[in-house]
Chain A
Amino acid sequence: MRSVIVLSACFIALAVFGPMFAPYDPTAINIPNRLSGPSAEFPLGTDALGRDILSRLLYGARWSLGLAFLISLIGLCIGTLVGLAAAQGGKLVDWIVMRTTDTFLAFPELVAAVVIAGLLGAGTGSLVFALSITSWMRYARVARGIGLSLKSRGYVVQAQLAGMSPLAVARWHFVPALVPSLIVVWTGMFARAILGISALGFLGFGVQPPMPEWGTMLLDARIHLRSTPLQMIWPGMAVATCVLAINLCGDSLRDSLVERTS
């Protein structure tokens, strides 16, 4: 748990403060210096338009990490509400909600996101919408499962007898019990969001140039694969490193959760 908080704080710090360490404006075009390799002047080299890769990488964190954070939070909110509604609502509501969730789950997430983002028109807004709307389902399942098991707990019955509104019962008795499991799901979804954002960026559907998102940077790098192969190492490594870090935290969190409940 602590590691997740520390990691999130690091990512947030990177996204917010990283750009301050960027030596150049990430969108500053500098044709004479284009496609140069690593040097003292440009530590990671420059891209096809002469923009400094290190600066773009640092600014890119805002897009790749920041958007991922946003998307995973939106998914968390929608999913939890839906899951709790299913648990609280009685058999018919539960059935309808669950079939809706299954319907959304019928589409492989990335394929659906590609279609949605592509049809809505390339851009950050479409990206956020597409990835959010394809990611809430896992939270819903977890929230519903826990909600159903909590419904018959003694203290939940007592709260209902005391006359607490369903909203108050959810806030005081359901949500605290949900938090550990939801955070585990959230770490996984955060990682998926980073991968999704960069995949969509790579396909041209996501964050648009000149914005320095890591996936879009890889798209640029691909064109010049033969001439400056190094250029594609950095954005990919950035994505892989962040995703790996989150996954490791998520794993340790999941393990400690299993220990606690057994």
Chain B
Amino acid sequence: MLSVDRVSVNRGKTLALADISLSIEAGKTLAVVGESGAGKSTLIAAILGLLTPSKGSVTWSGAPVPSCRPALVMQEPRAAFNPALSLRRSVMEPLFARKANVPDNRLSRLCKGLELPTDLLDRKPGEVSIGQAQRVGILRALIDAPPLILFDEPLSALDAVTQKHTAKLIADLQAEEGFASLIVTHDLGYACAYSDDVAVLRRGRIEESGESSAFVAAPCTDYGRALRDAAIALGGLEIAA
């Protein structure tokens, strides 16, 4: 289980993250919602071990997070791949680094689950659509069966129809593979529909957190309420009856 314990991060003189605590169990999803500049990318970097927090700790089952080889799905799918390499080579990179092999049908099974024709992998990143590229990104995240996957605005670069579809694919695969997931997004509708718990991040602090359905029904803070009402008004969020 992922445990973020009172983490603070200084970026120069400003406090990018202040006293953040959260946890995610295997198989569960936490959505972190916030506006731009709230500190979402810093949080991801801190969890993945790409930067060291000035205070607090991040662990997976007591050990440093990198030891469980977490994966990251990035916002901009094409930037996540080396344009000179084939998608197959990029997807296999986690295994390549470990000098390990993938069980034979895992790749084809995952491709089917992500609705990717296997010959697509022989192409270069520039030769596929954004929606396909993002799904290949998810494929790479899954290939080595990590227990924790972080999603940084995974749907932002996609069009509305593809968004819904991709969100569902991710959820189905999570049910199958059982990984813990942290989704960072500014889209409250997506966040609440596809997560177990939600945390609202504002200026480096967690304003409120709790079960998604509870949050949607009755947010505790004014900020949370404002976010929720705005999301309903824009049509992204529906209150379950």
Quick check: do A and B touch in the complex, using CB within 8 A?
A: yes
Main DSSP-derived SS at the A contact region = helix
Contacts of B70 in A (CB 8 A): 161
Given contacts A154-B74, A172-B85, contact A159 B97 (CB under 8 A): yes
Rounded to whole angstroms, the CA-CA distance of A158 and B152 in the bound complex is 13
B199 CB-CB contact with A under 8 Å:
no
List the A side residues contacting B82 at CB < 8 Å.
Answer: 155, 172-173, 176
B73's closest neighbor in chain A, by CB?
Answer: A158
Asked if B98 is at the interface (CB within 8 A of a chain A CB), the reply is yes
**Number of A residues with CB within 8 Å of any CB on chain B:** 17
Which of B48, B72, B90, B97 has a CB less than 8 Å from the CB of A163?
B97
Report the Cα distance A162→B70, complex, angstroms.
8
Which of B48, B84, B85, B98 sits near A161, CB closer than 8 Å?
B48
Q: Does the CB pair B69–A153 fall under 8 Å?
A: no
- Determine whether A77 belongs to the interface, using a CB cutoff of 8 Å to chain B: no
In the complex the two chains form, what is the Cα distance from A173 to B69 in whole Å? 20
In angstroms, how far is the closest chain B Cβ from the Cβ of A212? Answer: 43
User: Is A155 a contact partner of B97 (Cβ separation < 8 A)?
Assistant: no
- Contact pattern, B 74-95, Cβ under 8 Å of A = 1, otherwise 0: 1010011110110000100110
Listed in ascending order, the chain B residues whose CB lies under 8 Å from chain A are 48, 50, 66, 69-72, 74, 76, 79-82, 84-85, 90, 93-94, 96-98, 140, 144
A155-B80, A162-B93, A162-B97 known; 16 other A-B pairs, CB under 8 Å? A154-B74, A154-B80, A155-B81, A155-B82, A157-B50, A158-B72, A159-B97, A160-B50, A161-B48, A162-B94, A162-B98, A162-B144, A164-B93, A172-B85, A176-B84, A177-B84
Q: Which residues of A contact B71 (CB under 8 A)?
A: 161
Contacting residues of chain A (156-185) with chain B, CB-CB under 8 angstroms: 157-165, 168, 172-173, 176-177
